[in-house]
A = this chain, B = another copy of it.
Amino acid sequence: MGLRLLIAGGVAAGASCAARARRLSEEAEIVVFERTDYPSFSNCGMPYHLGGVIAERQKITGGNVKMLRERFRIDVRTGVEVTRIDRGAKRIEVRDVRTGRFSWEAYDALVLAPGAKPIRLPVPGIDLPGVHTLRHVADMDAIAAHLARGPRRAVVVGGGFIGLEMVENLARRGLAVALVEKLPQVMPPLDPEMLVRVHGHLRAKGIALHLGDGLAAIERQGNGLRVVTGSGQSIEGDLVLLSAGVRPDIELAQSAGLEIGPRGGIRVDDQMRTSDPHIWAAGDAVEVRDIVTGEPALLALAGPANRQGRLAAEAIFGQPSRFRGVQGTSVVGVFDLTVAMTGASERRLRAAGIPCKAAHLHTADHAGYYPGAQAMHLKLIFDPNRGTVLGAQAVGGRGVDKRIDVIAMAMQMGATVHDLAEAELAYAPQYGAAKDPVNMAGMVGVAHLRGESPLLGWDEIEEADVILDVRTPAEVEGGRVPGSVNIPLDALRERLGELPRGQRIAVHCAAGVRSHAATRLLRLRGFDAHNLTGGFRSYEDAEEAGRVAARVRRT
């Protein structure tokens, strides 16, 4: 007889753990306890089912329970909640949700995969009918039922992944949608200047954006609701969705005296073992190591949860596998835009005191001479000394997810900007460019590292004595940086006498290509020139995001 493995929680991490465990042992008795009726449901599809994109509810709820039961002989018990862990006796107390009856189950190994809970902001009115969160199938069903009653206006509180996906899908259902976010930007893991285009796109799609304004209260208003913000604004809606993030569900672990980490997740080692040698934990409830900052991190994403579940099973059956940590690779669709990232943001690196430099590119998914190229805005963050890639963010259309995945893979392997510059990627004109955006970003980083074309951010411009705009006069007429001097690149060689020697010259063009050429030219002629990252486009982004130095602020 094999060991008795109990798994508390049957969604991503729990189900993956169970399936992997069976592949490692035919003898083990494997029991999964899932408090809802839907183990292994397709969490990430719920917003799209509500929007009508995924028509059949069964595609969300179907899961692979039958397979787990029949093929893998896993005892999946739904509607059963784990209520207590008796670590000394190695047993858990479980409660049948329907009958309310308690019983005990003995284990040799226990895996906790309780997931995370939506953060319920402590404001008045949070429990009013018509106020929803979206985490479980029951939440989805409640929203679907509400939508069936024909609400006309929705207010989404929180602009993270779920918030943005629900904004899109509620709009798809024909509702007028307002989005309230207490930060000045949606998608908090990204740096602010990268979201400027996303905000514009949301507004262009008719979404009423209330940024930098938190939820203060929800009140009844006629037959509907009214969301009151911290600034005192009042936004009417028939349906309110709270998507203010999630926090690890650690009640069970905490009451059993298991160690909790500094970020509030269950503490585990790199084999997913908790502070109790017979208990493992996996998924959204655990705290993991961020491979970029080295700091403990919480990350509620399906991919890492699945991997952690598998790893816990491997550890239990004596395999030496280790969890390498997380880098936060993620993607979200926002109407016609794709927003993706991997690694750390510049903001987080600065907060952690890690030196970093950023390159901004305004490019396209494929060769400009082939029709249908879609704009892509790419930010690459790297170690200014060793060139190690620390993070990347991209906003655009087609091909955004590809570049982030390529850079994510590179980061995993410890790549530097040199490696990105040299990457041999697939090129045909409809798929990319002979110099792919990934190559270009790497080359900008290499030019910085070698001192060929040192980068300056728009928030670092106080350090410059002169701001040199090398665009054409026609371009300058359309908008310029306050205090800048204009000498078009093609006239630069002839007009070098107009520039001061021994002073720091910050050079910009429209997007960073001509400014690189100008920076090279000036440095070869003995000027202390620096390349302003991302050019005027990045200036405008940074200005709107409040990230330009005071001297160049237009307003």
A401 with B431: CB separation less than 8 A: yes
CA distance A72 to B513 in the complex (A): 13
Which of B26, B401, B426 sits near A340, CB closer than 8 Å? B426
Which of B24, B413, B428 sits near A419, CB closer than 8 Å? B413
Q: A305: which B residues are within 8 A, CB to CB?
A: 434
CA distance A419 to B408 in the complex (A): 12
Q: A489: which B residues are within 8 A, CB to CB?
A: 71
Q: A409: which B residues are within 8 A, CB to CB?
A: 406, 409-410, 413, 415, 419, 423, 425, 438
CA distance A71 to B521 in the complex (A): 10
- With A369-B59, A405-B402, A409-B406 already in contact, the answer to whether A44 and B426 are too (CB < 8 A) is no
Per the 8 Å Cβ criterion, residues 363-410 of A in contact with B are: 367, 369-371, 401-402, 404-406, 408-410
B401 with A338: CB separation less than 8 A: no
B303 with A427: CB separation less than 8 A: yes
Which of B307, B410, B412, B435 sits near A303, CB closer than 8 Å? B435
Q: Tell whether A264 is near chain B: CB-to-CB under 8 Å.
A: no
A517 with B330: CB separation less than 8 A: no
Nearest CB in chain B: distance from A107 CB, A? 21
Q: Tell whether A429 is near chain B: CB-to-CB under 8 Å.
A: yes
Nearest CB in chain B: distance from A339 CB, A? 10
CA distance A305 to B62 in the complex (A): 51
**How many residues of chain A are within 8 Å of chain B by beta carbon?**
85
A427 with B517: CB separation less than 8 A: no
Q: Tell whether A501 is near chain B: CB-to-CB under 8 Å.
A: no
CA distance A438 to B412 in the complex (A): 14
Q: Tell whether A70 is near chain B: CB-to-CB under 8 Å.
A: yes
Nearest CB in chain B: distance from A435 CB, A? 6
Q: Tell whether A493 is near chain B: CB-to-CB under 8 Å.
A: yes
Q: Tell whether A36 is near chain B: CB-to-CB under 8 Å.
A: no
CA distance A369 to B55 in the complex (A): 10
Q: A327: which B residues are within 8 A, CB to CB?
A: 424
CA distance A423 to B406 in the complex (A): 10
Q: Tell whether A128 is near chain B: CB-to-CB under 8 Å.
A: no
Q: A414: which B residues are within 8 A, CB to CB?
A: 413
Q: Tell whether A350 is near chain B: CB-to-CB under 8 Å.
A: no
B306 with A434: CB separation less than 8 A: yes
A435 with B306: CB separation less than 8 A: yes
User: Interface 1/0s, chain A 10-53, versus B by CB < 8 A?
Assistant: 00100000000011111000000000000000101100100001
Q: Which A residues are closer than 8 A to B by beta carbons?
A: 12, 22-26, 42, 44-45, 48, 53-55, 59-60, 62, 70-73, 161, 165, 301-307, 324, 326-333, 338, 340, 342, 367, 369-371, 401-402, 404-406, 408-410, 412-415, 419, 422-432, 434-436, 438-439, 452, 489-490, 493, 514, 516-517, 520-521, 524-525
The 7 closest A-B pairs by CB, nearest first: A413-B413, A331-B426, A302-B434, A402-B402, A59-B369, A26-B524, A23-B520
10 residue pairs bridging A and B, Cβ less than 8 Å apart: A48-B429, A53-B371, A70-B490, A71-B489, A72-B517, A303-B439, A331-B428, A342-B426, A401-B432, A405-B406
- Beyond A23-B517, A53-B371, A405-B425, 18 additional contacts (C-beta under 8 Å) are A25-B524, A45-B369, A54-B429, A59-B369, A60-B369, A71-B490, A301-B427, A302-B427, A303-B424, A303-B425, A329-B427, A330-B428, A331-B432, A401-B431, A402-B405, A405-B406, A408-B423, A409-B423
